[in-house]
Amino acid sequence: MVKKIMQWVLEERIGFGRLPLYVEGVPLGEHPEREFHVHDCSEIVFVLQGSGTHLVTDRDELSVRIHAGDVLIIHPGFVHAYDDTDDLEIVNIVYDWRTLGLPILDGYDLPFFRQVFPTEPVAPEVVVKPVMTLATAKLAELAPLIQRLEGTLEASGPGSLIESLSIFLDVVLRLAHVGPQRKLAPQRGQFLIGNAFRFIKGNYMRPITLEQMARAVHMSSRNFCRHFHMATGMTPTKYLTTYRLEQAKELLVDTMLSVDEVARRCGFCDGNYLSKLFRQKYRTTPRAYRLAENKLNDLALLLSRERDGDTT
């Protein structure tokens, strides 16, 4: 019987505005039993040692025994837990594939990609079972990669974000090649999406319609949306808005332009609309963001002068 369901929220673990990717390990024998929870994200679960029982609740409680080497994939909305965890050790790669913005390209030619980045609803009877069982050697090969991913995510040096995505994709690709693969016709439409990126970069300051973006890559709007989402993990309209907001952030910090002028130069109708979208995405206003960034820049300049012995 499920007494209480915990809400597992990725943003509470990583903080606001961070890369939606996280590694969480549970040492041997320390996983709570029957602690039912539901995620707002997806996770790949690796059973490193021992065994236990994986539980998923739907109308009924589904259960499957899991053992070392098993790999589970749980997507948002599924209530699940573990039982018989005395000798169970797991590590989870937690991710929000809807906002991660990965370049899927021809990844869907690999059946495993559809399990990691699903395009259709998944049944509870599928979620409760391992998607594969890794041989001891393959598990030993992946464990250091997962540790490296965790360390890179915790780092804040230049390039740590792109390196984290690279390691994550490396893990997924290694898993994708574990089993036999179907031979599918190559999908090349995704490569045309590069023309859409160039079109957006050259025209974001002007009004752009979905039809104009589709024409830039010689596709129908429907086909373009499908390929764009496969390549980026988001819709063309969302990508365009995100790109414009990033350009607005640069202008806010690098210039003294008014918010209305920044909005106009970035393709927004006015400053009010920019402020609305800015608050939705960054939880602050353009003016507050500019002030905070300027203070950080002033502090960095002061610290740099102190290190150089310049106190003027």
The CATH number of the domain holding residue 132 is: 2.60.120.280
Q: Which residue has the higher pLDDT, 87 or 77?
A: 87
Do 276 and 145 sit in the same domain of this protein? Answer: no
pLDDT score for 310: 59
Q: Give me the chain's average pLDDT, please.
A: 87
Question: Which comes out higher in pLDDT, residue 231 or 91?
Answer: 91
Q: What is the per-residue pLDDT across 2-54, written as a single tens digit (0 to 9) for each?
A: 557 888 888 888 887 788 999 999 999 899 999 999 888 899 999 999 999 99
User: Are 42 and 167 within one domain?
Assistant: yes
Residue 300 is predicted with a pLDDT of 64
Q: In the predicted model, is pLDDT for residue 1 greater than 70?
A: no
Residues 100 and 143 in one domain: yes
Quote the domain boundaries for residue 229: 188-233
More confident residue, 57 or 143: 143
**pLDDT above 90 for 178:** no
Q: Which residue has the higher pLDDT, 61 or 168?
A: 168
Is residue 194 predicted with pLDDT exceeding 60?
yes
The upper half-sphere exposure of residue 279, i.e. CA atoms within 13 Å in the direction of its Cβ, equals 8
pLDDT exceeds 80 at position 65: yes
Residues 163 and 195 placed together within one structural domain of the fold: no
- Decide if pLDDT at 86 tops 80: yes
Structure pTM?
0.61
Mean pLDDT of 285-306: 79
Taking 80 as the threshold, does the pLDDT of residue 119 lie above it?
A: no
Tell me the CATH number at 273. Answer: 1.10.10.60
End-of-domain residue from the set 176, 196, 216 = 176
* 250 pLDDT above the threshold of 50: yes
Q: Say if residues 150 and 164 touch (Cβ distance below 8 Å).
A: no
Residue 21 lies in a domain: yes
Is residue 312 domain-resident? no
